[in-house]
Amino acid sequence: MRKSVLILALIIVQTTFSFAQDTLVINKKVVYKNVGNRELSVDIFYTESSQQNRNNTAIAFFHGGGWVFGDPSEFYEACRRFARKGFVTFSFQYRLSRNADGTYPHPDITPVESTKDARSAIRWLRENAGTLKINPAKIVAGGQSAGGQLALATALTDSVNEISDNMKICPVPNAMLLYSSNVNTMEAWVDMLLGERRNEIWSVSPYHNLKKPMPPVIAFRGDEDDQVLPYTVEMFKAKMNKLGNYYEEYVYPGMKHYLAPDNKKYATYFDEVILEKTDIFLKKFGF
């Protein structure tokens, strides 16, 4: 009888603790940018304990979807996970090349506009670091697929900026997390989205704007990715290495574009094992 009561008590304590862990994460949505007649929002995730510290690392995520589809909610669970570990995390909305009726491309929105929004997002984090309780020198940008291109673009595409941005604020993050990331926009899909502006395709291509020094990068991909072709990533990796930039890569045999196709928790982007490797990378560089 006593043993049963003790086991029941332990289960209750464990359940309560787990529930408390879930409820500790606070989520709020704010507007980070006004462009034209649109407001772009960001979801912020943090804990009460992290708000007692002004030296928090920020992780800014950009979802995938080919600059046309996708939603910030696809990174919510990853944001909650990292928030529980003491980070302040952000899942940014950005302009998509999709019309109100669901058709695409949008005549005035291309990957160039998406890139402008990503660079604005990092500038917004730095400008509001005090209010957000983050260290402006500890900002990490991450993304999946097209979102990976956006994360890279914050550090690379110097010529692509919103005219209303404060150019005195640097948009370059301090580290980058890439999941099945697009690294080269020289492809038919991007050409279609740009239309008559196709001459701008070079301006947003990470491979064609690579330089040194770059923030440290960790990248994950499948060796059978059918959307971001592996040879383009190998070219990117080779150029990164030639420039002397830090590039840590994990390749998963047999995997295609989604690194955890059965994992609905993390929107099929990745699984806990991949995120644990991400933890090690962040710790290695002092984040």
| CATH numbers and ranges of domains, the chain | 25-284 (3.40.50.1820)
Largest CA distance in the chain: 77
Tens of pLDDT, residues 163-214: 999 999 999 999 999 999 999 999 999 999 999 999 999 999 999 999 999 9
Q: What is the pTM of this model?
A: 0.92
Using alpha carbons, select from 87, 83, 79 the residue that is nearest to residue 24.
83
Q: What pLDDT score was predicted for residue 19?
A: 42
Amino acid at 128: N
The H-or-E segment that residue 6 falls in is helix 2-23
∠ CA 150-105-210, rounded to 5°: 25
Q: Which stretches of 57-128 are DSSP H helices?
A: 76-84, 111-127
Give the Cβ contact number of residue 49 at 10 Å: 9
Q: What tokens were used for 28?
A: 């709020």
Phi, psi of 2 (to 5 degrees): -60, -40
Rounded to an integer, the average pLDDT of 257-281 is 97
- DSSP bridge partners of 144: 179
pLDDT confidence of 4, banded at 50, 70, 90? Answer: very low
Q: Is the Cβ–Cβ distance between 184 and 234 less than 8 Å?
A: no
pLDDT tens-place string over residues 60-112: 999 999 999 999 999 999 999 999 999 999 999 999 999 999 999 999 999 99
Instruction: Quote the CA–CA distance of 209 and 202 in Å, as a whole number.
Output: 8
